[in-house]
Structure 1
C-alpha cells in the first residue's frame, strides 16, 4: 500500500512538470527572441525622448508610429501637427522580453498628443480678386455667396452652385449661378423623361413657329431676368489654424458692404468740382485732398482731364438685369439748324421745347446699384415731346495772336495811375516793353483802315477784321502798310517805337468790339 501511494505521488509530480513546460512554451516563450548571432535583436523604443516599450525590430517600431498617428487623427477633420522623433536603442540578447505592439502604440499616442505643435482645421479659402477669406465649412461658403446674391435677388429666383474650374489644373472650385425654376424643370425632365406618344407630340409642338404679334405691356415678364457675380470667385480646400478662420457674419460684412475704392474719372463738359463731389457723395475738401493737381475749389478743370474719385463698391460685385415698366416725361432730341453766314460762337433758339409723356418697358442692366445700360423693349407715347430747335453758326471765328515776339508787360487793361502827363488813367489796351525796331505783326487777318500819326498813339495802325472787331497798334517807329491794304495773320506791318505820349520804347495794343475797347488778353490765342 505504501509503495503504491509513493508511485502515485511521482506520477502526479511528473504530470505537473509537463503541464508547466507546456504553459511556458505557449505563453512565455513567444515573448523571448530566439537566440541569433546577428547583432542587435531587441530594441528599446523612444518617441520624442520618452521610452514607449521594447520591440523586436525597427520595422515594427515604425509601423506602430504610423498606426499611432492614424489613431490620433481618426474621427476628426482636423490636421494635427506634432513632433515625432523616433529613436531606438538596440542590444543582442539570448532571451529578451518584448512588449505587445498595441501597448507600444497606445503609449505612442499619449506622447504624440502631448507633443502637439498645432491643430490645423479643415477650411475653405474664398478668393475674390485681391481679397480672400477663410471659412470653416462649405456651408459657410454657400451662405456667404448666397448673401451677396440675395442683396439683389430678393425673391430667391437664383441659387449659387460650386463647380470645378475647368481652366485650372489644381482642384479649384468656382461659382455658378443657376435659375431655381430651370433647375427644377431639368430635374423633373431627368426623373420623368418623355417617351412614346408624349415625345412625338412634344416634337411636333417644338417645330411649330409661333405667330409674331406685337406684345402688349401685360405680356412682358417683369422683375429680375438674369444675375451673376461680376468678379471671379475661386474656392479651395485648405487646412489652417483656427485663428485664421473668420466668423461667417464678419465675412458677410466684408464681402457685401461697400468699401471705398479709388477710381479715375474723366471730366466732362459742364462739370465743376462741386458737382463731381456731389455726384460721388464726397466732401469737396476730400476730393481736393486726393488730387495733387487740384489746389482749391477755384482750380481750373478742363473736359478730358482725369481726376481721382472714391467709389463705394463691395468686394464681390453683382451684375444683373431687370425688366421694368414705367411711365415718364421725356425730352425730344435738340434739332440744330446750321447757318453758314454765322460764326460758331453765335446761336439762337428758334423753338422752345416741351416735354412729352410715354409708357415704357425696358431691360435695365446694373453693376451693384449703378445702372450701366438701358434697352427699351416697348414704348408707347401718350403725347409727343416738342423738340428744341437751335440755329447755329458754322464759320470758325478768327483767332488773335500776340503782335510781337517776347516783350515784358508793363501795363495791363483798366484803371491805373497816369505814367506821364497827358496819359489816361484808364488804360484801354496792354503795353509790352520792347526795343525800338521790334517787328510788329498783324494779330489777325484783315484790312488796314488807318496808318499814320494818331496824336497820343504816335504812329499808329488800325486793322478791321471779318468778325467785326478792330485792332490798334500804337507808338510805332515805322509803318510798313497803307490804308485799304489787306494783311494776313502774322504779317509784318510795322516796327515798334517810342512815339506819341510814351515813357519808353514799347508797343501799345488794343482790341475793340462794337467800337469799345476790351481786355486784349482775354482774346489772344
Structure 2
C-alpha cells in the first residue's frame, strides 16, 4: 500500500468516527476496507457515540500494519473510555469526559483485563508468582521490568537470557500506594539476579587445535601460560614474549604472536685457548653446548583466544593451565612398519608394552613374526596438547680422535691393547642450528667448524692372537674406552629407560662387552643402527644408535672386539651409545653387570 492510499484511509477513519452513532463492525469494515478481521473473537456491544471525540495526535499511525491488519483479541466495553486492542495496533481513545486508558501487550507476559463494570485502581507486578510491587498501569510495569533487565545486563556484562514468569494483574476497588520506582527497579533487578543458576564471569578461552580448550581469568594470565609452556622446552636463557593480536574482523577473537627478544650470540665469546685445550679434551664438558640462543620459535597448531563469559569454576590458574598443555597424554596414532621392526621394537619405540600393542591391534599377536614392511599398526603415543617448534643457534665443542698407530703383538689376544706412546685428542668448535619440537632435536645443520687444536698420534701395542670362538667370560666390560655416562637405567621423562647411555664423539669405537655370536645387525626403528650379541646362558647385549656396523649376523666376536661406531641414528638426541643387557628376555640394569 502506497502513501496516498494510507492517507485516504486515515481521512475516512476520522470522517466516520465523527458520526453520532454507528455499529462498530460496519465502521471498521467501511473505514479500513479489510476482510481479514476475525470478528468471532471480538465481543461487540452497542456503543453510544453521542459524546465521543477523537484526538488525532493520540493515534500512532506508524505502528499500524495496514497490509496484514487482523483483529485477534479485543473487547468493546460499554463506555468509550476502554481500550480497543486489535492486532498490532494500540490506539488511544479519549472519551467525552476526558479519561484516557491504553494497553501495550508485553511479549512473554500475561495481562489480566479488568471487568466491564470496574475501573483499574492499580496493577500488581508479579514475577514467579511473587508480588514485587504496585504500579498505576500495565505499561508502567512493563517499562520497569525492561529497565530492570537492562540494568541486570549492564551489571553482569552479558545477557543471562532468563525466562521469567511475569504477570501484570489489574486490581479494582480501593486505591493502593504505588511502589517507589527506584525501589521497585532494585527489587526487580535483584529478583532476576537471584534467579540466575550459574553466574558467569569474564574470561579468556584459548582453543588449541580442534578440540582442546582452557579458560583463564585475564589476558596477562594467558600470556604467562604460553610463555611458560615454551620455556619448558627451551634450554637457554632467551626471553620469549607473547603478544595477543586482535582479529580485524572480530575484536573478541585474538591470536598469539611469539617474539624472541634475544636472537644473536654474544660477539665476545670465550674461545678455548691452548692453555685449556688439554683440560677440555679430558673433561666431561667436551661435546656440550657452551653457548646457545633461540633464533626462532613458533606454535605448530592453530591457537585462537576468545574473550567470553564462562562459568566461574571453568577458570584455571596459570600453573594448572601450563601443566594441562605441556603434559603428555596418550593419543592414538598410526605407525608404519619399517625394515627391522618387530612388535617388541615397535612397542618400545612408542613407549608401550608389547601387550598394549597386541590389545590395540587384533590378530597381531598370532602373526607377530609375519608383519610386513609398510603395514600400518595402531599405537598410543604420549603427546602434549601444545607443540612448540624452535630453532636454536649453538656453539659447542667436540673431541677429535687422536690418530692411532698399532703394532701387532702375537702373544696377546685380540682386544688386549697396550699404549706405548700416548697421543692427545684434538678439539673442534662447532657452530650449528638445531631444530627441535617440544625440546627434542629432529634436525641439525652445521654452519661452521673450527679446529681449535689438532690431535697427535698414539702408538699402541695391539694383541693379534685370535680369541676362542664365542668366548663368553660371564663378565661384561664397558663397551667404550672414552665415554660420558649421560643417562641411567630406570624411569626417565615419564617412561622407562631400558638401558644406559654412554656419550662420545661420532665415530668412537664400540666394542663387544663380552664374547659371543652376533644375532642381529642393522636398522631397528627407534634404535637406529644396532647390534645384538648372544653370550649364551640366556644373556644378550644390545648396542644402539650406531653410525656404522662392522659385524654381521652369525659372526662370532671376542670380548672387547670392535663391532660398531658411535652415532646419532634412530630416536636419538646426540651422538651416544644406548647399551642394554637382557637376561632370559628381561631387560636388566647394565650397571649391575658391567666391570669398570
Provide TM-score, normalisation by structure 1: 0.48
Greater Rg by CA = 1
Higher helix residue share = 1
Provide TM-score, normalisation by structure 2: 0.43
